[in-house]
Amino acid sequence: MKLPKKSATAGILFSLVLAFRLLIAFRTPTLDYEAYFHLAQIHSILDTGTPIFTDLWYAPHYFFPGFDYVLSFFALFMDPVIVLKIVPNVMAATLVLVVFALSLRISKNALGATFSGLLAGFVPIFVASANSASPLTMAIPLLFFLIYCFLRINEKTFAYTFLVSAVVLAVTHPIALLLVASLSLYLGLSKLERLQRYPQEFEVTFFIGLLTTWITFLVFKKPLLSQGIAAVWQNVPTELFPSRFDYSNILEALTAAGLLGALVGLWVIYRLVLRQRKREIYLVISPVLTLLAFISLGVTDKTTALSILGGAFAILFGSYVAIISRYVRKTNFVRYRSLVYLAILTLILLAHVMPSWYMAHSSEYPSPEDVEGMRWIGRSLPQDAIIVASLNEGYMVVAEARRQNILDPFFLFASDVEERFNDIETMYTTPFETEVIPLLTKYDADYVFVSQNTADDFEIERLQYASNKKCFSLLYNQGPLIYESLCEVSS
């Protein structure tokens, strides 16, 4: 099978994956619910120069702002919603280029690198972020780029590039800590196996370890001091914990990471660790081993862990193709090698591309009417209004309505998450205004937003207690319903 020049091959793969992700992103005019957090940050950065850490949120939201500053730069030239659909997907598609380069350097096989790049572009759980503007779309390609730079750390250009990129990752996402742990494991394994190492390896690992730990402590000092090790579970409510941290369904987890890549990757690790004690192999498998340890301890959320594992397994897949290619050339199968490669391509389609499409389409999105309803709140209700909305819609309240919410999916700095979570359910499901009015008074909230998605999630057709016209007034009914509370419990 003849291939174009390597750079052209990588470019074709990048374009294919980017087109696939943009097709998903633009299939709906709205964003994924998670993306509205970043829309709120873009608005704030463009208006004031700083993100929203405290104002409007129900509790302080401290986070790494690097990703949002990058998006805000592009929002100077484009509509912020378009930025959130395009820029993160361009970043995510660069994973293909990094994995292609890593696989080519390790396997020395251009065809293997091509298949690796293809697998990396269709990690199902990572493709599912195509419309959510997740910081992982920037952080994961950057993580693997740092591994590539570390492979060539003896070259001055790559040493400096590594240091600069490590600083960028440290202010973008907590997976910078994973990089430090992985490189530390690599240094330990390479010492045990007496592998050849460059003297710069320990120095740069020590430097980024100190830098990342310091930055992380600055940002997350309060929850780390108040919650201790429990902070790694992000203060997630009990009811939501399985969806974020439960790996008990192994087949589901492997499918989300890319079933073919995962199975082949695990086999390659077993084979190469036993037979080839190469620096490059140990450097790639160190993040895998580190993540498997984190998963066993339940300290890494599924989206992050499985997205990174999918990328690492994709790199190792190139070595598998190289092994297959050598075997085919030595046997009578050489005349059928095109069929062998076609079979691999078919398996990638079945185990990666199709699940990616399915997972991306299984996400729930707000309707354009919901967005317009939030904007109506921004135009029509008092600036100090506090809005009751579902958990998913909490970010939208701040981003589109520019009003304060009472809960959203950022739980880390809140002390009463479970209570708020249960209170919101009560406010949507109870038929009794005697239950709702004290809760609205408790949160100083005067308005309740009811979208069709919220009604479906809580299995209700309407707010039963809103039939009491003395205490509740319907202000808006152009899709979502917006009620005003006219009663309160006096102190």
| Cβ atoms of 353 and 152 closer than 8 Å | no
Say if residues 352 and 124 touch (Cβ distance below 8 Å): yes
120 contacts 96 by C-beta, under 8 angstroms: yes
CA-CA-CA-CA torsion sign (475, 481, 84, 149): positive
Domains of the chain, earliest start first? 6-30+62-361 (no CATH), 368-485 (3.40.50)
pLDDT at 332: 67
CB 172 within 8 A of CB 139: yes
What pLDDT was estimated at residue 1?
47
Closest Cα partner for 86 from 166, 31, 49, 13? 31
Burial 21-60 (b: 16+ CB within 10 A, else e): bbebbeebebbbbbbbbbbbbbbbbeeeeebbeeebbbbe
Per-residue tokens: 258:
């890319």
For residue 92, the model assigns a pLDDT of: 97
Angle, CA of 413, 360 and 310, to the nearest 5°: 75
Alpha-carbon torsion (98, 99, 105, 110), positive or negative:
negative
Question: Tens-of-pLDDT digits for all 491 residues of the chain?
Answer: 445 577 888 999 999 999 999 999 999 899 999 999 999 999 999 999 999 988 889 888 888 899 999 999 999 999 999 999 999 999 999 999 999 999 999 988 899 999 999 999 999 999 998 998 999 999 999 999 999 999 999 999 999 999 999 999 999 998 999 999 999 999 998 888 887 788 889 999 999 999 999 988 888 777 767 666 666 667 777 777 777 777 778 889 899 999 999 999 989 888 877 676 778 888 999 999 999 888 887 778 889 999 999 999 999 999 898 888 887 777 766 677 788 889 899 999 999 999 999 998 888 899 999 999 999 999 999 999 999 999 999 999 999 999 999 999 988 777 788 899 999 999 999 998 889 999 999 999 999 999 999 999 998 888 888 888 888 999 999 999 999 998 877 65
Angle, CA of 121, 124 and 129, to the nearest 5°:
85
